[in-house]
Amino acid sequence: MLKRAALYIRVSTDQQAKHGDSLDAQIATLKDYVSTQDNLTIIDTYIDDGISGQKLYRDEFQRLLEDIKKNRIDIILFTKLDRWFRNLRHYLNIQEILDNSGVTWLAVSQPFFNTDTAYGRSFVNQSMSFAELEAQMASERIKAVFENKIRKGEVVTGSVPFGYKICDKKLIPNENAPIAKDIFKHYSIHNSIRLTVEYLFNEYDITRSSRTIKHMLRNRKYIGEVSGNKNYCPPIVDKETFEKVQNLLDKNISSIAKRTYIFSGLVVCSCCGKKMTGRYRKRKYIKKDGTVMYYTKKVYRCNGNTYKRNKCPNKINIAEEILEEYLLNNIKADAENFEAKQKKIAVSAPEKNNNSKILKKIERLKKAYLNEVISLDEYKKDRKELEQMMIQVKPKETIVFKSNWFNKNIESTYRDFDEEEKRFVWRSVLKNLIVDPHSKITINFLTKN
């Protein structure tokens, strides 16, 4: 009678590949074994690439468990026991599921492992304990090596901060160190990542993204410190300037977090085709009684204005409220055209697909917990991580259908939305808004015929 065999393959590191445990090597070994057995037929192959044997929640492994519960598998084949598990508790939990389902396993390169006898089971358990201990010791050895290198001031990664170079395994300032110092000084004075990016390009002809500059400004190596060594490398920036920069960045985080630009990513310059990004502009006006008042408003400005050379001629700062009013007026005129199509617009396909995948993972995780494969703490931890992945998608799913906003009363309905809801509404119907230097706005709808 033919047995239905599942091939399970796992590789977690490049180092394992060097020792003959690459994916291709494992697949070849398992298929060669099956070819010598008259009573085996391969049902499916399950591959977990880049996953540690210490972890139970592996996508392909969870799919394998589902197929076991569906009675699709009689035997699981893997090359070595450590490809299956390195955690004894996880192994025992899964073994109980296999026993209840009548499924056996075989490590084809280690046929001396078996679970048919009490001695065999004891031998497997002892081997699993040693494998788990070995994995933990390897992790501790790597950590100890890194800590020792840090204590000695040696580089532990290939990433070198701008303004430094590696010499004799240590970081030392290079010819760009004065520029790095100037970046910190400029930000400490102007408190603006954007202006610092512009300054770096215009003054030194060096292009860096805002994200890169922000990461650089947070890097404590510039004052010679890393976790575990306060004298890791020669400092480029003095501590007073560095701490001032940290305080400014911290204040800006809370400030920026409150800002929502409802047309973010949608406004495009007609001259150069670059995005027009949102920012706040502060303005003052003087009342009739002489009182000076200040107000801020959100505007969109072409990114092509960032640099002095090849500067975009479109210098307009168009207010967000102008874009809103223009859109509301124009959409009202075409409401009947768009109403039927708008009802069909929900969440974009990628978001919907991603959500579906995450929900399936949560469901598999729940089953793993109910089957006592994982502990309650592991279930809570992994579920929290998966739910965090949904945080940006889930709120959007209910916004459009919350009020069926696209109708003849669009304006009054729209006014009830908060900023995030407004943002999603426009992203649901707009491809982009093209703005020229004279504030002429061209609307491109996603639902345009």
Gyration radius of the chain over CA positions: 30
Rounded distance, CA 166 to CA 69, Å? 55
pLDDT of residue 159: 78
Same domain? For 10 and 50 the reply is yes
Check residues 448 and 309 and name the one with the higher pLDDT.
309
Higher pLDDT, residue 28 or 194 = 28
For residue 185, being part of any structural domain is answered with yes
The pTM score is 0.41
Residue of 247, 205, 245, 189 lying closest to 197 (CA atoms): 205
Among residues 202, 224, 257, which one ends one of the domains?
Answer: 257
What's the pLDDT at 187? Answer: 94
Q: What is the mean pLDDT of the chain?
A: 78
Determine the Cα angle at 282 with ends 180 and 240, to 5°.
Answer: 30
- d(CA 193, CA 215) in angstroms, rounded, equals 11
- Residue tagged 């994916």 (tokens): 23
Give the pLDDT confidence score for residue 218 in this predicted structure.
93
Number of domain units in the chain: 3
Q: What is the pLDDT of residues 359-387, one digit of tens each?
A: 777 777 776 666 666 666 777 777 777 77
Instruction: Return the amino acid letter for 187.
Output: Y
Domain match, 60 and 105 both: yes
Residue 423 is assigned to a structural domain of this protein: yes
- Write down the pLDDT at residue 265: 87
The mean pLDDT value for 167-185 works out to 95
| 77 vs 135, residue with greater confidence | 77
Task: Let me know whether 273 and 252 are in one domain.
Answer: no
Instruction: Determine the average pLDDT of the residues in 37-58.
Output: 74
Let me know whether 56 and 92 are in one domain: yes
pLDDT at position 404: 45
Instruction: Output the pLDDT for position 198.
Output: 87
- 402: pLDDT confidence band, cut at 50, 70 and 90? very low
pLDDT surpassing 50 at residue 213: yes
| CATH number reported for the structural domain that contains residue 110 in this entry | 3.40.50.1390
C-alpha 121, offset from chain centre: 41
Q: How confident is the model at residue 401 (pLDDT cuts 50, 70, 90)?
A: very low
Higher pLDDT, 91 or 216: 216
Residues 62/90, Cβ–Cβ less than 8 Å: no
Do 169 and 298 share a structural domain? no
Share of the chain above pLDDT 90, in %: 27
Q: How many CB atoms lie within 10 A of CB 352?
A: 14
Task: Quote the pLDDT of residue 436.
Answer: 93
Tell me the per-residue pLDDT of 23-33, one tens digit each, with 9 for 90 and over.
Answer: 888 899 999 99
Q: Confidence class of residue 290 from pLDDT cuts 50, 70 and 90? A: confident
Q: Which amino acid is at 133?
A: L
How far is residue 292 from each of residues 40, 282, 284, measured CA to CA in Å?
Answer: 87, 13, 7
Q: Final residue of a domain: which of 228, 257, 286?
A: 257
pLDDT class for 172, splitting at 50, 70, 90? very high
Structural domain containing residue 336 = 269-347+393-445
Residues 288 and 429 in one domain: yes
Chain length of the chain: 449
Among residues 206, 234, 257, which one ends one of the domains? 257
pLDDT score recorded for residue 346? 45
Q: In this predicted structure, which of 62-71, 126-135, 136-145 has the lowest mean pLDDT?
A: 126-135
Phi, psi of 7 (to 5 degrees): -95, 125
Q: How confident is the model at residue 447 (pLDDT cuts 50, 70, 90)?
A: low
Tell me how far apart the alpha carbons of residues 349 and 381 are, in angstroms, rounded to a whole number: 28
Q: Is residue 274 part of a domain?
A: yes
Predicted confidence (pLDDT) at residue 349 exceeds the cutoff of 80: no
In a domain, 388, yes or no: no
Lowest mean pLDDT segment, chosen from 64-68, 96-100, 196-200, 424-428: 424-428
More confident residue, 198 or 331: 198
- Please check the confidence at residue 325 and state whether its pLDDT lies above 80: yes
Residue 321, Cβ neighbours under 10 Å: how many? 11
Domain-embedded: residue 148: no
Task: State the average pLDDT over residues 189-195.
Answer: 87
Q: pLDDT value at position 398? A: 38
Show the beta-strand stretches assigned E in 309-371: 317-319
Whole-angstrom distance, CA of residue 431 vs CA of residue 433: 7
Range 255-262 average pLDDT? 67
Please check whether residue 296 is in contact with residue 274, taking contact to mean a CB–CB distance below 8 angstroms.
no
Same domain membership, residue 327 and residue 415: yes
**Are 67 and 134 members of one domain?**
yes
CATH number at residue 211: 3.90.1750.20
DSSP 69-130: HTT--SEEEESSHHHH-S-HHHHHHHHHHHHHHT-EEEETT-TT--SSSHHHHHHHHHHHHH
User: Is 70's pLDDT higher than 80?
Assistant: yes
Instruction: Tell whether the model's pLDDT for residue 193 goes beyond 60.
Output: yes
- pLDDT reading at 17 higher than 90: no
Whether residue 18 is found in the same domain as residue 47: yes
Identify whether residues 233 and 95 lie together within a single domain: no
Across the range 342-356, mean pLDDT stands at 52
Which residue from 378, 365, 362 is spatially nearest to 89, judged by alpha carbons? 378
Q: 309 pLDDT band (50/70/90 cuts)?
A: low
Domain contains 156: no
386 lies in a domain?
A: no
For the CA atoms of 75, 80, 86, 87, what is the dihedral angle to 10 degrees? 30
Instruction: Identify whether residues 36 and 136 lie together within a single domain.
Output: yes
Residue 318's pLDDT band (boundaries 50, 70, 90)? very high
126 and 221 in a single domain? The answer is no
Q: Which residues contact 10 (CB under 8 A, 6 or more apart)?
A: 26, 47, 48, 49, 51, 53, 58, 61, 78, 83, 84
